[in-house]
Chains A and B, each alone.
Chain A
Amino acid sequence: MKKITAFLVLNILLLGSLGGSVSAQAAGGSVLIKNATVMTAIRGTLEATDILVQNGKITRIGKNLSAPAGVRTIDATGKFVTPGIIDCHSHTMMDAVNEGSFSVTSMTRIRDVLNPKDIAIYRGLAGGVTAANLLHGSANSIGGQNSSVKFKWGKPVEDFLIPDAPPGIKFAMGENVKRSNFQPQGGVQPRYPRTRMGVVEVMRDAFLRAKDYKQSWDDFRAKKTKVPPRRDLELEPLVEILEGKRLVHAHGYRSDEHLNLLRIADEFGFKVATLQHGLEGYKIAPEIAKHGAGVSIFTDSWSYKLEAYDNTPYNAYIMWKAGVNVSINSDSNERMRRLNLDAAKVMKYGGVPEEEALKMITLNPAIQMGIGKRTGSIEVGKDGDLVIWNMHPFSPYSRVEMTLIEGDVYFDRAGDIARRAELAREREALERLEQNRPAGAGAAAPRPPSQFENGHLDDADHIDGGKR
């Protein structure tokens, strides 16, 4: 009896201390989607095809499949199915974006500021997004640790985290990092660095310190030293980068800057996972391909800041042709809802083939985030992360009918519409309550907006602390 109690306590402690990483993930749903045009994002487009998802995983793809007992069937005749869209640069559901006080804030974690009730999640689902790379902002050369999530709207925050996603971190270079558009207030010292020269040195300095730190631990573990080194939460994530255990997602625009980062990575022997934004990637496509970094871009947004002036919508094509893994991200709660159209555009700018264009919002970002083995394409064995569209998703008239994650329906347009009248009634009833009456009496109280900004492209605008 005592033993059992101790075991339970230990379990609770373990679960409590490690949080979401070991929380029991739901097994996932089972569903049969019938008779759809299936765009697999890996093995072409299959006409009149069924997809069976069981306990969250795709178990069969084929014709005339029948639903096992108790499994829901969705008739998708005349409709298209794609893998769930994956947004490789997002700040959705984050209560804070930038810890901008230091030039290196690798100790901070996006995990600590996740808000599972952000309405932007639901709106993203309604645009077919099932997973996102939630990144720290770009206020500093080395920013905080990211979170890879699936948009399991309505579930506890622990369920959002993708359990086997490799950890990552945000790096940044350029205008935001050197605080070009932010003059320090009177009496406040400007933060180092203020130039692109300084940015490079901050990174090199951090990695040199991390190498020493790693050495001191290696020595201790090899019993060369007797006193354990003091833990350093800033340097630990950098050691993980050096050991190839943590992915670097590096914000930047100018090609020379991104090239500088690749050189730093070469110097310290690690690989950069993604160049984020990378609007000038096309200028150094061979170098990026050689290094093996992915690039996560906006298809055609440009000119909103000086360092975005040299974007060209042919960027995706040039890099794709050079063999670079390209993804198209939103960095915006608004743009996230129409990534399908941003992918469609690259077909005309240079001529990226249809499936390659689809990959740029599905399989490619999955690979960049290190979750390509479990999601990003429609294959047996992968997660049942699927979007049902009313027509070809690259048509301007297309819209999402249903979004599923691991076989469970998280967005259903018909259900959404059916609930609206009831929600309107509930809203009216709430507004009538005494505690919701406005201070001025009479006129209805303005409800707070869902967010303070329209999901801008770059996070320069919400650089200090939380969202503007």
Chain B
Amino acid sequence: MKAKGKMQKARIAIALCLSIIVGSLSASAQSDGSEQNKTGTPGTFAIVGARIVTVTGAVIENGTILIRDGKIAAIGTNVSVPSGAERIDGKGLSVYPGMIDAATNMGLTEIGQGANATVDISEVGTMNANARAIKGINPHTSHINVTRVNGITTVLSHPTGGLISGQSAIINLNGATQDEMAVVADNALVINFPRVATGGGFGGFAFAQQAAAPDVNAAVRRRDEQVEELKKIFRDAEAYLKAREARQKDPSLPLVGIDLKMEAMAPYVRGQRPVLLPVQRERDIRAAVKFAEDMKVKAIIVGGQDAWKVADDLKRNNIAVIYTNIYSLPVQMDDPYDYLFEVPSKLQQAGVKFAISTGNDGSESRDLPYHAGLAGAYGLSKEEALKSVTIYPAEILGIADRMGSLEVGKVANVVVTDGDLLDPRTNVKYVFINGRKLPLTSRHTQLFDSFKDRK
């Protein structure tokens, strides 16, 4: 009995030691996935007595918003809170729709330099229409929690590189699997649209100063040849799809072997889904618009430094701009210092549909509100700045029926703050995605908790 007691004590001691070791391990800097696996709690939630910034309608002071079954069930000053709902005191708080970052590589890379194994952004080869971001996105990347706790609830994540880079995905920043995260699994085709390159690199000016004066006409010719190559891919895809269709109807026709890359082109050559065209300079944007016109594809410009100069072409073709250059330097020495800060304001004045995006690989998508804020410092109104990261990206990405504003029936992607959503001093108090209340934890709060009391 005594011996058994000793054994037990020893066991307890070992167990204690183990639990301390395990505890300190999980508290250490290594990511153990525990943060990424926190997908929140479902339920009925009522935020009562808050300032409700609907974005598409008027601001409601002292209002209530009801979240039920993943949707926004009611908004107003006269909403009754059902029994069983979790009541959240909204006094002094503001409620916003979750922000949408419309051009990132979220989940496709963890660490860009020195950890190649974590990078899945660019496939090998020039034509990768069948490369689908949704299949490469890591639902457990630490970037997701870090981003959503700052009020960004939805992003577009896209591959890069080659000539046709692959297909982008729109994801909510919550879910244990890719399927749970997907808003639209394959929403657009990313085309690395050929640009006039007068320097060393593809589409760049690298070493332009050292090199002999570039032959601009030759560079334009090279660009146009690449555009022809691109058009040929689209025509080949059309021909391929026609041949496959014809064979299905008439088995006497020759069989055309399956080609996954061509198959993937179907919704894009048919204009059912948009293509994303990353271009910056005026001449390249004009070429991209002409390509969309010629091939009758739905297009969205990504980047768009000079897009305001092409406003008429863009409007005529109903092409929107996802602007990603707030955190970029003006390209030319004699550009005004605020040239790229002012573009959203210029686009707005010209009547071009636009959204503001970080264009970031994912780790710093959380700065999205400050990108919009800076555009607000240089000409854009506060209201437009807010729209440019909420309802405008939703409209451009074709998901405005589901998100981008606080409206009854929309998905409950909702952010509650103690101040202006775009202000870096503002604290995010609650984040809901699909109506699930998320813990406001991330790799960064975890590291904070681990070390804040070390003496």
CB of B260 closer than 8 Å to a CB of A: no
Instruction: State how many angstroms separate the Cβ of A20 from the closest Cβ of chain B.
Output: 25
Please state if B455 and A286 are interface contacts (CB–CB under 8 Å): yes
> Which A residues touch B445, using CB under 8 A?
312, 314
Which of B227-235, B290-298, B306-314, B363-371 faces chain A? B363-371
A120 to B, closest residue via Cβ? B329
Stretch in A29-37, A108-116, A341-349, A368-376 with 4+ CB within 8 Å of B: A341-349
Q: What chain B residues lie within 8 Å of A449 (beta carbons)?
A: 205, 208, 331-333
> Provided the pairs A416-B337, A438-B213 are in contact, do residues A304 and B448 lie with their beta carbons within 8 angstroms?
no
B110 is an interface residue with CB less than 8 A from chain A: yes
Q: Do A303 and B424 form a contact, CB below 8 Å, given A126-B337, A310-B29, A416-B337?
A: no
Min CB distance B25 to A, Å, is: 15
List the B side residues contacting A438 at CB < 8 Å.
213-216
A175 beta carbon closer than 8 Å to chain B = yes
- Do most interface residues of chain B lie in helix, strand or loop, or is the interface mixed? loop
Min distance, Cβ B92 to any Cβ of chain A, angstroms: 16
CA distance A460 to B448 in the complex (A): 27
Q: Tell whether, in the assembled complex, residue B327 and residue A303 are in contact, meaning their CB atoms are under 8 Å apart.
A: no
* List of A residues within 8 angstroms of B218 by Cβ: 440
Are B373 and A420 within 8 A (Cβ)? no
Given the known inter-chain contacts A305-B114, A448-B208, A451-B329, please indicate yes or no for A396 contacting B373, CB distance below 8 A: yes
Residues in A262-300 with C-beta less than 8 Å from chain B = 282-283, 285-286, 300
Interface status of A230 (Cβ within 8 A of chain B) = no
| Contacts A312-B448, A313-B444, A446-B216; A301 near B376 (Cβ below 8 A) | no
- Residues B205 and A448 in contact, CB atoms below 8 Å apart: yes
Q: Using Cβ atoms and an 8 Å threshold, which residues of chain A touch B420?
A: 396
Write out, one digit per residue, whether chain B residues 353-391 have a CB within 8 A of any chain A CB (1) or not (0): 000000000011010011011101110001001000000
- Give the residue name and chain of the B residue nearest to A313 (CB): B444
Q: Restricting to B193-247, which residues have a CB under 8 Å from any CB of A?
A: 196, 198, 205-209, 212-220
Q: Which residue of A lies closest to B424 (CB)?
A: A344
User: Given A181-B114, A440-B218, A448-B209: A454 and B328 within 8 A (CB)?
Assistant: yes
Residue in A closest to B330 when the chains form the complex, CB atoms: A450
Residue of B nearest to A310 (CB): B29
In the complex, which residues 330-348 of chain B have their Cβ closer than 8 Å to any Cβ of chain A? 330-338
- Min CB distance, A393 to chain B, in Å? 11
Asked if B422 is at the interface of the complex by the 8 Å CB criterion, the answer is yes
Q: Which residue of B lies closest to A442 (CB)?
A: B217
Whether a CB of chain A sits under 8 angstroms from the CB of B350 is no
Instruction: Pick from A305, A349, A451: contact of B112, CB below 8 A.
Output: A305
Say yes or no: A468-B206 contact (C-beta < 8 A), given A122-B337, A305-B114, A344-B424: yes
From B30, which residue of chain A is reached at the shortest CB distance? A310
- A333 near B: Cβ within 8 Å? yes
Given contacts A122-B337, A441-B217, A446-B205, contact A309 B377 (CB under 8 A): no
In the complex, the answer to whether B220 meets A443 with C-beta atoms within 8 Å is: yes
Cβ-based interface call for A398 (8 A)? yes
* C-alpha spacing A143/B423, complex, angstroms: 39
Interface pair B113/A305, CB less than 8 Å apart? yes
Check A445 for interface membership: any CB of B closer than 8 A. yes
A304-B363, A318-B452, A399-B378 known; A447-B111 Cβ under 8 A: no
**B214–A439 touching, CB < 8 Å:** yes
Residues of B contacting A443 with CB < 8 Å? Answer: 216-217, 220
Instruction: Answer whether residue B22 sits at the interface, using C-beta atoms and an 8 A cutoff.
Output: no
Q: Report how far A314 CA is from B442 CA in the complex, Å.
A: 12
CB-defined A-B contacts under 8 Å, sample of 6: A283-B451, A285-B451, A305-B114, A396-B369, A396-B420, A447-B334
Closest 6 A/B residue pairs (Cβ): A396-B373, A440-B217, A303-B363, A314-B448, A306-B114, A305-B113
18 further contact pairs, Cβ within 8 A, besides A282-B448, A341-B373, A446-B205: A282-B452, A305-B112, A305-B113, A312-B444, A312-B445, A314-B448, A334-B329, A347-B424, A396-B370, A396-B422, A420-B336, A439-B212, A440-B214, A443-B220, A446-B216, A449-B208, A449-B331, A455-B329
